[in-house]
Amino acid sequence: MREKKEAFFTRTYIVTILGLFSCFLWGSAFPSVKIGYELFSVDASNSYEKIVFAGFRFFISSMMIFIFCLVTKRPLRINKEDIPKVGFLGIMQTTIQYIFFYIGLSNTSGTKGSILSATTTFFSVLLAHFFYKEDKLSVKRISGVILGFLGVTIVNLGGSGFQGGFNLTGDGFIIISSLVGALAGIYTKKVAKNISPFAVSGYQLFIGSIFLIIVGILGGGENIDFTLKGMMLLLYLGFISAAAFSLWTILLKYNSVGRISIYKFSVPLFGVLLSYIFLGERLLGINIVLGIVLVSSGIIMINKE
């Protein structure tokens, strides 16, 4: 059974479809979260309110995964020795990563934040080289990552530009968030080896979300207004994370980290395009096209290894 699943989830076209779909979902979170901040009256300058908002979003995601598993009779039970592993993954991937991300994003520009968050792929490919023997660095892999990063940079520099000096609690925290995210991705592959990807995603999101909510409230982020429209949007955001994290965990379970991580470069592209469609944000022409070409070239290059 495992051999059949591995054969299916390692096919190039399946990896491409699921990888891009996951990143499309994450990209759609950009405009959705912005709308959510307005509906929930989240103070744009209050990072702790954003952390609480993220906590509720991921909590709903975990509940959706649990319900899906119960309805489809997928295994949710994990061994006692795996509980600390999943718990640690949740704290690392959901709590720590997003605390650094939201605080960092509140102290730097959106352009710099988007570009610096793309360093997750750099860290993933580099660190995987030392953790997994099948994930060795190669000229094609390095070239693919460079092309992808250039694509993200060009898309974002079409706007206000990359200005200002280095800010530890802004730029530095975004980079730390990216590093933690990369480590979490590598650890996810190890944890999911003998556990259902849905169980891994559900439990880690549940545990991580609880800590996010606690940290956010302790930081003074409890002043959030709940409305019917806001709750409907929060359900969609919950679905985004539930589906994207589950699919991503499946891909990591059966493929090398380096092969999957390259798709993360498409997240900012989807974010820019969907923000234009739903928010009417400015869409610059040639830089978007060039960015898509570079990211696509990077993905193709790594998949041809």
pLDDT of 161 = 47
Distance of CA 19 to the CA centre of its chain: 12
Per-10-residue mean pLDDT, the chain, length 305 = 80 93 90 86 86 95 97 91 95 94 77 73 84 81 84 66 65 89 93 92 97 94 86 94 94 90 84 79 69 80 72
> For residue 237, what are its two tokens?
């955001």
Round to whole Å and give the CA distance between 185 and 1: 24
Per the CB < 8 A criterion, the answer to whether 33 and 191 are in contact is no
Instruction: State residue 170 phi and psi, 5-degree precision.
Output: -110, -80
pLDDT of 169 = 82
Look up the pTM and report it: 0.87
pLDDT of 138 = 82
Round to whole Å and give the CA distance between 299 and 304: 9
**Residue among 282, 268, 271 nearest 159 (CA):** 282
Domain boundaries, the chain: 2-303
4 Cβ partners below 8 Å, 6+ apart?
Answer: none
pLDDT of 167 = 77
